[in-house]
Amino acid sequence: MKTKYIAQSLAAIGLMAMTALAQAQTVDRVYVIDQRAEVARSGTGLCWRTGFWTPAAAANDPAGCACDKDLLPKEKCEPPAAKAAAAPITAKPITIAAKELFDYDKAILKPEGKAAIDREVIAKLKDAGPIKTMLVTGHTDRLGSQQYNQKLSEKRAEVVKGYLVSKGVPVDKIETMGAGKTQPATGVPKCDDKLPKKKLIECLAPHRRFTIDVTAEPKK
């Protein structure tokens, strides 16, 4: 008899402890929490609700979306779709004839050349977002050796870079290279080597140029 009484007492104590635990766990919950600290469910998988359940309260319960997704605001249970990253804008290469930029066989930027850069490059950058990369490539005509023209094209590219930096283009975004005479301009009249040198130099002017390839972020 004494043993039976002790067993009943222990069972009652255990029930009280489980009830207290459940109550403690459900103070801020609107679903019944079992001894495993999980939402109690019916045989058909439905969540057991407490008397404090309301759609608004369920929206703040950790189990709300799992138990009553259809009754809660869509934005609560379905995170907003991530916005696709906007693709960088790759501008077409900007080409300026060197006859406006440099005297023949020189790497000193002329006032006309600065004006051309302001008009064809700086002004157009205002319609783009932050610059990602800018490649300045210098070119020469075919007169002279490739070694000489390579150095000349590199000097011209560096001079243009310096001017771009003076106009506010970040120096770390600009790269330069010289192509020498390896990439003659296309779509221009052919020049006969038999022309007098002055006429030949004038004829070859379109080949003495530089290009700027700009990649920029979309403007917000």
CB 117 within 8 A of CB 111: no
Nearest to 136 by CA among 126, 119, 151, 121: 121
φ and ψ of 31, to 5 deg:
-125, 150
The class of domain 89-216 in CATH terms is: alpha beta
Question: Looking at this protein, which amino acid is placed at residue 64?
Answer: G
Average pLDDT, the chain: 79
For residues 66-82, give the mean pLDDT.
Answer: 79
Structure confidence at residue 160 (pLDDT): 92
- pLDDT value for 196: 95
Q: Give residue 48's pLDDT.
A: 83
pLDDT in tens, 11-25: 444 444 444 444 444
Give pLDDT tens digits for 191-209: 999 999 999 998 988 888 8
The token duo for 113 is 């050349």
Cβ 54 vs Cβ 182: under 8 Å = no
> Can you give the pLDDT at residue 12?
46
Assess whether pLDDT exceeds 80 at residue 147: yes
Domain extents in the chain: 2-77, 89-216
